[in-house]
Structure 1
Amino acid sequence: MTAFALENCDVFYGKAQALHHVSIDVGRAEVVSLIGRNGAGKSTLLKAAIGLNAVRSGRRLFDDRDVTALKPHELGRLGIAFVPENRRIFPNLTVEENLRIATVMGRTGPWTLERIFGLFPRLEERASQGGDTLSGGEQQMLALGRGLLTNPEVLLLDEPTEGLAPLIVDQLVEAIRVINAEGIAILLVEQNLKVPLKLARRQFVIDNGRVVWSGTTAELQADRARIETLISV
């Protein structure tokens, strides 16, 4: 069964069309990646998925239910969590306060503050520190932990490894594997292939606001030279 999908979606910024008849789907407990160069439409698509960008035509589906008309907070209460590229950490709140904010969503489930600290021990070490004192990797852990504390069924990740050191990237990859093993469907947006090839079963490539390729990871590997051309800057 499909956990989340966009079907033939058009999105506009004013009069300029940003997404053209885009369709993408994520099955239950599946990791799917969306790959593309800068400006291809990746973040626009994720914002359409969570309701921050209006869908002019087409449908947004959650568990095969049409949720196109729902607002972002309503989608969050259904079980869709968005971890944005810029992380949006509250700098004047502590790490623990940043995490506890997510619990106001009111969804119950297996993800608790203690489990987040178990997944990311560094956050527990820095629980009383301000959000603005964290490194980039620690901020990404915090943003991911905050998303998990809403106990989502679908997790939207916008370039979670961008600009991070290889050791931190490896830690985040392992964390995403653990999260997915809990049955959470994940739509992973990245600019390059390295992380998606480790995590995703299926891949979508977006360029100029259109999905220009889709297939399994094995099919992508077989067509890798062309895909590299499509996503290169």
Structure 2
Amino acid sequence: MALLEISGLHAYYGKSHVLQGVDMRIDPGEIVSLLGRNGVGRSTMVKAVMGLVHSTGSVVFDGKELIGMKTHEIVHRGLGYVPESRDVFPALTVEQNLLLGQQRGKQSQWSMDDMYEMFPRLKERRHTAAGVMSGGEQQMLTLCRSLIGDPRLIMIDEPTEGLAPQIVEQVARYLDILRERGVAVLLVEQKLAIALDISQRVYVMGHGTIVFEGAPGDLRDAHQVRKDWLEV
């Protein structure tokens, strides 16, 4: 059974109809990438799942309908979200940011030491205010803050955007560790090579709908799909 099942999802910003009937599924422990050019609705889809934009249709997570639920209720059900904007608490230290990610009364499989082992730079800067850190360091922190809440599925929006190659490699390792520990991932990404390398399945979005679904090898062979919907 799918962990996340999206059916006929429509989403709106005011009168703008952004998502126009999206269907998608993610199975337990699976890494799925959502590809597409900027402006086609990928980030809106993730926000719709999290209850952050007005939407209609069906979003079923672990057998429960999410449409109509508040964002904090969705998080408590086991969904994590890492926005493209990173959204650290700038005046708080690295360690304080991580502590805010923990859920009260819930035993997490992830410890603070796990976070520092994945990203040693965070351990070095654990007493540093998040607002003075580099973009790459803030991205590491946001990824870990979401993970320490022990989600069963984490949705990550453009985690490698603007990062140096060595930081991109660390993010890819982070995704590998999630897969090893059985956490499902929806990766919103523009870098085709990363998505094809790390995913079990890929979706391509164009103009608010899904225009391709398949294995990474299928997308490699789908030259017309890449030309029409991915290449600049």
Q: 2:229 — aligned with what?
A: 230
What is the distance in 2 between the residues matched to 1:40 and 1:168?
Answer: 27
Shift of 1:3: 1.0
Deviations 1:12-59 (A, max 9, x none): 111220100001111000000000111010110000111111222x10
Give the secondary-structure state (helix, strand or coil) at the position aligned to 1:2: coil
Offset of 1:224 from its aligned partner?
A: 3.8
- Distance across 2 between alignment mates of 1:105 and 1:4: 24
What residue number does 1:91 align with? 90
* Letter matched to residue 217 of structure 1: P
SS at match of 1:6: strand
Q: How many residue pairs align between the two structures?
A: 232
Deviations 1:173-216 (A, max 9, x none): 01110112100010000123121011111111111111111111
Equivalent positions of 1:56-205 (< 5 A) are 56=56, 58-104=57-103, 106-205=105-204
Alignment check: 8 A CA contact 1:87 1:143 kept = yes
Task: Kindly indicate whether the alpha-carbon contact (under 8 Å) linking 2:81 and 2:146 is maintained by their aligned counterparts in 1.
Answer: yes
Change (3 A) 1:42 1:115: same
Deviation at 1:106, TM superposition (A): 4.2
Q: Equivalent residue for 1:51?
A: 51
What is the CA-CA distance between 1:66 and the residue it aligns to? 1.9
Q: Which whole-Å CA distance do the structure 1 matches of 2:225 and 2:7 have between them?
A: 25
Distance 1:39 1:232 in 2: 14
Query: Residue 69 of structure 1: CA displacement?
Result: 2.2
Alpha-carbon separation, structure 1, partners of 2:196 and 2:48: 24
Residue segments in structure 1 that go unaligned for 5+ positions in a row: none
Matched, 1:20 2:23: no
Q: Is contact 1:36–1:192 with CA below 8 Å preserved after alignment?
A: no
Three-state SS of the structure 2 residue aligned to 1:129 is: coil
- Alignment TM-score, normalising by the size of structure 2: 0.96
Instruction: Tell me, in whole angstroms, the C-alpha distance in 2 between the residues paired with 1:218 and 1:65.
Output: 32
SS at match of 2:54: coil
The residue number in structure 2 matching 1:215 is 214
**2: CA distance, partners of 1:231 / 1:105:** 42
2:106 and 2:84 map into 1 onto residues whose CA distance is 24
Q: 3-state SS of the aligned residue for 1:19?
A: strand
For the 8 Å contact 2:40–2:207, the answer to whether it is kept is yes
Q: Which amino acid aligns with 2:210?
A: V
Extract structure 1 runs of 4+ deviating beyond 4 A.
Answer: none
Aligned to 1:42: 42
TM-score by length of 1: 0.96
CA RMSD of aligned residues (A): 1.3
Secondary structure in 2 aligned to 1:164?
A: coil
